[in-house]
Amino acid sequence: MRSDSRQKLIEVRKYGSSGEPVIVLHGGPGAAGYMQPVAKELGKEFRVYEPFQRESGKERLTVACHVKDINDLIKSYCSRQKPAIVGHSWGAMLALAYAAEYPDNISALALVGCGTFDKASRQQMEKVRNERMTDNIKNHMKRLTEKIEYTDQRLCAMGQLMQKIDSYNLISSGGKIERCDARAHRESWQDMILLQDTDVYPAAFAKITVPVIMIHGTHDPHPGKMIETNLKGHIPQLEYFQLEKCGHYPWLEKAVKDKFYAFLKDWLLLQNKTI
């Protein structure tokens, strides 16, 4: 693994020295670093770039800011070959936003545990999470709110708690979040919701022509089939691969970790052969 500061606004970690380029996008937003296990594993077959998405600063963060950063990354590292993008959760949503803006710059999209693009899906996700919320977890969250003064640290702690709710049977609590930015989370997510409320997304995804696949666990509170139905109306080539006994983090699930990696690698290799 190598870190590169060639990007002015974001850090990019690199894995692998051969194969087709793949960009791995973390979720959150504002929760960088936890996709390292996926980036490392893919680095055995591909040249992988793991950007830490832009942090909060003088300018308010928007989806457009993140899309520009991805485009700058591609121009810096992938000028000769179109990369595939593997995005998780918010990162999957960002991958779609990028592909809609620059449909000719990428080779394929793999959406792992993709986030929601309509109110009905978000309501279903919250319903499932609330049903899984034990009194112990509720009390823990309340204590975090009271005891942790700094919002970035609180976001990290909340993320670790939500991982348990969103998962089926974890190998470990791995996939450590290395940087939390609560303001980046708030600003980026608010802009994504605005773009949905003004009917920009998911309609803009009709511009995407490359192969797209959703990889989704049956235990993921993000309602995979509802999200697929919503997206497929704009992305007719969308495929769907379902993982049983799997939550929001397939690479950390005991039952499907190996299956997830094998499928993702094979699918990415297949797309390279058909370009």
Chain segment 149-167, per-residue pLDDT in tens: 668 888 888 888 888 899 9
pLDDT at 234: 98
Chain segment 86-116, per-residue pLDDT in tens: 999 999 999 999 999 999 999 999 999 999 9
pLDDT at 7: 42
Higher-confidence residue of 158 and 244: namely: 244
If you compute the radius of gyration of the chain from its CA atoms, what whole number of angstroms results? 18
Q: Is the pLDDT of residue 236 over 60?
A: yes
Yes or no: say if 176 and 249 are a contact pair by the CB < 8 Å rule.
no
Least Cα distance to 187 among 33, 53, 92 occurs for 53
H helix and E strand count, the chain: 9, 10
Chain segment 24-56, per-residue pLDDT in tens: 999 999 999 999 999 999 999 999 999 999 999
Name the band, by pLDDT with cuts 50, 70 and 90, for residue 174.
low
pLDDT at 158: 84
Q: Mention every residue, 6+ apart, whose C-beta is less than 8 A from residue 161.
A: 137, 140, 141, 144
**Token pair 């996926």 in the structure block, residue:** 38
